[in-house]
């Protein structure tokens, strides 16, 4: 009784417990029809046990599908298996268990099932999983971002390093103790110390000359005391020290950085030797030009587009007898008579409009005198090439102009007198030849018809008379040839000197062979000449070189050298030479050398002709010689382009 009582109590407790737990407990027969059903879980599904008992599982689950977990599990339990399965039903998730229900003999008579509603747990799990996933994604995202930042940072550090290393400027990093912590290749090149030598050493010891170190230390101290320094965030120029002890100018700009509580200084230094030199060169050149402008005896002035003076050099100020300040801002109208000022302004306008240069010789009446002024006016451009004014340079050319006019008059006069001379020499020679010929004929007659009546002395006198007649004829001819140089000259054109010399040597074949002369020459140029006259010139010189040789055979060399844009042709010999006093004289007509005049035939006209020819070609002729040492005759002539 007690046992039964106890059993009932226990059964009631169990039922109470089962009814209270949020589960559903049921039994089915082997046909899978609910035989009982209870549990607080039913309430959640809004079901009552009597709605279910008697219902088949297929109806309950509204399916004939034998594989549906709610059915398959019971089938297996009917086979004696214990089956755990999960089932989602009516929006709830159940963790279920099906167990065979046996009778006292152990035969399966149905199934006892229990299902625990785990919907909330599942939902919580799902939320947790989702949260986890979100967190993981976020972590993933953060990791990626961090990686990207790290890569970017590394790249940026490398980039900065590269910039520092490639920089043209020396870069030096310095810590709070003044020790070097960075030193780029440009610093190596600038100061001569390698990076490894520099790192860790005191900056001042390395690059600052002893006398500046105090200033440097004060600058650093000032910074640590006040947070500011005259050396920081500005450009400072000072003398730096190279490893080899030499000092050179540098420009420094330094900045301070505070990273955490660590101070560091970035110092950029630039070698400004070249800049200083070019600045100096610019200053020198400016000084040179301003000195030239100020001291040149020419007037220089500038005006703006409105014709107002902007600059006047000293000469122009003196000309106007006014200081620069009184000239600047004024116009021509303030200093010149109206008519003249209007002309100047019109000239300026033309230059501004056309952009062209104005170059003219102006005539000005000053009292009874005429002044000539050379005026050169040009437009003044700004850096973009726009015309911003005019510049005038003018200077007095009265003397030159008068001299030129005089020269013109002289040369017209000369031409006229040359023509007259030619006429005169033709007439004179003609008139002289005629009586000479008569004298010659009479001498001949005397010789021919009175030979037997004349004694030896008379015949000798007659012979001398004939000789003099011949010589007189030669002199007259020579005189004409000198005059012909100017009057019968042909226009100058390119002539090959070498060809001319070859013709000369052909003409002189007899003399060369007779004397055994050796004539050599350089490669001779093409020159601007009258070929006939050039031949005459060279033939006279080479002929003389052969003639005035006393001992041995003549050795002659014809040379060609450059001389101030012209050619200098030289004829050198190993002849008797010419004393200094004769060296000028022999170029005059009928002038012969002092020594041994009678020993060598000639009239003293050859060199006079040479001089006239050289001068007609715009050149000159001279001789370099010492008696007994040979002579070199030289003349200059323009080369052909
Ligand atoms: P010429 O030969 O008829 O006397 P030139 O005018 O040719 O006339 O020469 C003038 C003078 O210059 C000569 O009399 C001679 O004294 C001197 N002379 C010219 N050429 C030479 C020479 N190559 N060497 C030495 N003396 C020279």
Distance 606 CA to ligand 1 centre (A): 8
Protein residue whose Cα sits closest to atom 23 of ligand 1: 545
- Confidence band, pLDDT 50/70/90 cuts, at residue 3: low
pLDDT surpassing 70 at residue 596: no
- Within the chain, which residue ranges are assigned CATH 3.30.450.20? 1-168, 170-265, 296-396
Whether ligand 1 lies within 6 angstroms of the CB of 631 is answered as: yes
Give buried/exposed letters for 418-432 (b at 16+ CB in 10 A, else e): eeebbeebeeebeeb
pLDDT tens by residue, 526-553: 999 999 999 999 999 999 999 999 888 9
- What is the rounded CA–CA span in Å between residue 442 and residue 469? 11
**Which CATH superfamily does the domain covering 296-396 fall into?**
PAS domain (3.30.450.20)
Question: What's the Rg (C-alpha) of the chain?
Answer: 64
575 Cα nearest atom in ligand 1? 24
Q: Tell me which residue of 631, 515, 513 sits closest to 575, measured CA to CA.
A: 631
603 Cα nearest atom in ligand 1? 3
Host H or E run for residue 338: helix 338-354
How is residue 587 annotated by DSSP? T
Distance 155 CA to ligand 1 centre (A): 93
**CA 463 distance to own-chain centroid:** 86
What the block records as the tokens of 315 is 């000469």
What the block records as the tokens of 475 is 């002199």
Distance 565 CA to ligand 1 centre (A): 29
pLDDT surpassing 90 at residue 22: no
Taking the domain 402-483, which CATH number applies?
1.10.287
**CA 506 distance to own-chain centroid:** 58
573 Cα nearest atom in ligand 1? 23
Residue 434's pLDDT is 85
Residue 539's pLDDT is 96
pLDDT above 90 covers a percentage of the chain that reads 59
Give buried/exposed letters for 254-292 (b at 16+ CB in 10 A, else e): bebeeeeeeeebebbbbbbeeeeeeeeeeeeeeeeeeee
- Within the chain, which residue ranges are assigned CATH 1.10.287? 402-483
Top-confidence residue, 507 or 161? 507
Whether ligand 1 lies within 6 angstroms of the CB of 546 is answered as: no
pLDDT tens by residue, 232-284: 888 889 899 999 999 999 999 999 988 888 888 999 999 999 999 999 999 99
633 Cα nearest atom in ligand 1? 23
pLDDT tens by residue, 207-243: 999 998 998 888 888 888 888 887 788 888 989 999 9
Distance 101 CA to ligand 1 centre (A): 164
Residues 143, 147, 151: CA angle, nearest 5 degrees:
170
Residue 228's pLDDT is 82
Protein residue whose Cα sits closest to atom 11 of ligand 1: 592
CA end-to-end span of the chain:
155
Distance 472 CA to ligand 1 centre (A): 19
Dihedral of CA 545/550/553/559: which sign?
negative
Is 490-638 a domain of CATH 3.30.565.10?
yes
Distance 598 CA to ligand 1 centre (A): 12
630 Cα nearest atom in ligand 1? 24
Whether ligand 1 lies within 6 angstroms of the CB of 548 is answered as: yes
What the block records as the tokens of 71 is 């059915």
What the block records as the tokens of 234 is 């500005």
Top-confidence residue, 641 or 284? 284
pLDDT surpassing 70 at residue 588: yes
CATH architecture of the region 170-265: 2-Layer Sandwich (3.30)
Task: Please provide the DSSP assignment of 48-62 as one string.
Answer: -HHHHTT-BHHHHHT
Distance 350 CA to ligand 1 centre (A): 62
Residue 194's pLDDT is 96
Distance 3 CA to ligand 1 centre (A): 179
Distances (CA, A) of 487 to 424, 448, 480, 636: 12, 41, 10, 21
Read off the pTM. 0.44
What average pLDDT does this structure show over 4-26?
73
How is residue 93 annotated by DSSP? E
Whether ligand 1 lies within 6 angstroms of the CB of 544 is answered as: yes
- What is the rounded CA–CA span in Å between residue 600 and residue 476? 19
Protein residue whose Cα sits closest to atom 15 of ligand 1: 593
Distance 498 CA to ligand 1 centre (A): 24
pLDDT tens by residue, 127-150: 899 998 999 999 999 999 999 998
What average pLDDT does this structure show over 356-382?
91
Whether ligand 1 lies within 6 angstroms of the CB of 542 is answered as: no
Distance 593 CA to ligand 1 centre (A): 6
Whether ligand 1 lies within 6 angstroms of the CB of 482 is answered as: no
Protein residue whose Cα sits closest to atom 4 of ligand 1: 604
Contact between 203 and 225 under an 8 Å Cβ cutoff? The reply is no
576 Cα nearest atom in ligand 1? 25
CATH of the domain spanning 1-168, picked from 3.10.20.30, 3.30.450.20, 3.50.50.60, 1.20.58.1910: 3.30.450.20
Ligand 1 probe mutation, 538, 550, 593, 603, most atoms within 8 A of CB: 593
pLDDT surpassing 90 at residue 157: no
Ligand 1 probe mutation, 585, 592, 600, most atoms within 8 A of CB: 592
């Amino acid at each position: 009784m007690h046992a039964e009582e106890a059993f009932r109590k226990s059964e009631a407790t169990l039922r109470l417990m089962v009814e209270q737990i949020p589960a559903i407990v049921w039994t089915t027969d082997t046909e899978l029809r609910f035989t009982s059903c209870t549990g607080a879980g039913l309430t959640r599904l809004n079901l009552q046990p009597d709605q279910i008992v008697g219902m088949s599982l297929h109806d309950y689950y509204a399916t004939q599908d034998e594989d549906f977990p709610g059915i398959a599990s019971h089938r297996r339990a009917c086979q004696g298996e214990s089956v755990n399965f999960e089932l989602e039903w009516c929006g709830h998730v159940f963790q279920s268990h099906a167990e065979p229900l046996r009778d006292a003999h152990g035969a399966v008579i149905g199934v006892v099932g229990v299902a625990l509603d785990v919907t909330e747990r599942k939902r919580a799990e799902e939320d947790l999983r989702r949260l986890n996933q979100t967190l993981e994604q976020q972590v993933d995202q953060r990791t990626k971002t961090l990686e990207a930042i790290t890569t970017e940072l590394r790249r940026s550090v490398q980039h900065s390093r590269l910039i520092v290393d490639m920089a043209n400027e020396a870069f030096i990093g310095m810590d709070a103790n003044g020790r070097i912590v960075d030193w780029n290749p440009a610093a190596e090149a600038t100061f001569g110390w390698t990076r490894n030598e520099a790192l860790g050493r005191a900056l001042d010891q390395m690059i600052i000359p002893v006398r500046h170190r105090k200033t440097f230390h004060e600058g650093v101290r000032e910074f640590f005391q006040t947070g500011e320094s005259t050396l920081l965030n500005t450009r400072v120029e000072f003398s730096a020290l190279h490893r080899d002890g030499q000092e050179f100018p540098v420009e420094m700009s330094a900045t301070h950085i505070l990273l955490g509580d660590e101070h560091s200084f970035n110092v950029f230094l630039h070698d400004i030797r070249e800049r200083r030199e070019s600045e100096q060169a610019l200053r020198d050149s400016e000084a040179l030009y301003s000195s030239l402008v100020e001291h040149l005896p020419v007037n220089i002035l500038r005006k703006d587009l409105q014709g107002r003076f902007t600059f006047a050099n000293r000469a122009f100020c003196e000309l106007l007898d006014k200081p620069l300040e009184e000239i600047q801002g004024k116009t021509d109208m303030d200093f010149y008579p109206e008519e003249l000022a209007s002309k100047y302004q019109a000239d300026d306008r033309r230059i501004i409009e056309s952009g062209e240069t104005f170059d003219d010789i102006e005539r000005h009446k000053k009292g009874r005198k005429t002044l000539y002024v050379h005026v050169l006016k040009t437009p003044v451009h700004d850096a973009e090439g726009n015309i911003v004014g005019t510049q005038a340079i003018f200077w007095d050319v009265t003397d030159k102009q008068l001299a030129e006019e005089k020269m013109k008059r002289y040369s017209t006069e000369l031409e006229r007198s040359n023509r007259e001379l030619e006429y005169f020499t033709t007439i004179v020679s003609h008139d002289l030849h005629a009586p000479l010929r008569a004298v010659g004929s009479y001498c001949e007659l005397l010789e021919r018809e009175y030979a037997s009546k004349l004694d030896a002395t008379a015949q000798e006198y007659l012979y001398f008379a004939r000789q003099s007649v011949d010589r007189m004829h030669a002199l007259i001819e020579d005189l004409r040839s000198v005059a012909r140089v100017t009057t019968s000259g042909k226009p100058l054109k390119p002539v090959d000197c070498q060809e001319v010399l070859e013709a000369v040597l052909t003409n002189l074949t007899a003399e060369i062979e007779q004397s055994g002369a050796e004539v050599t020459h350089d490669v001779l140029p093409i020159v601007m000449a009258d070929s006939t006259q050039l031949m005459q010139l060279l033939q006279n010189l080479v002929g003389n070189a052969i003639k005035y040789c006393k001992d041995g055979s003549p050795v002659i060399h014809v040379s060609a050298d450059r001389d101030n844009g012209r050619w200098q042709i030289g004829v050198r010999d190993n002849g008797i030479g010419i004393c200094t006093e004769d060296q000028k004289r022999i170029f005059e007509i009928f002038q012969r050398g002092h020594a041994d005049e009678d020993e060598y035939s000639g009239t003293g006209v050859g060199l006079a002709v040479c001089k006239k020819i050289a001068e007609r070609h715009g050149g000159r002729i001279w001789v370099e010689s010492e008696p007994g040492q040979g002579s070199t005759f030289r003349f200059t002539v323009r080369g052909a382009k």
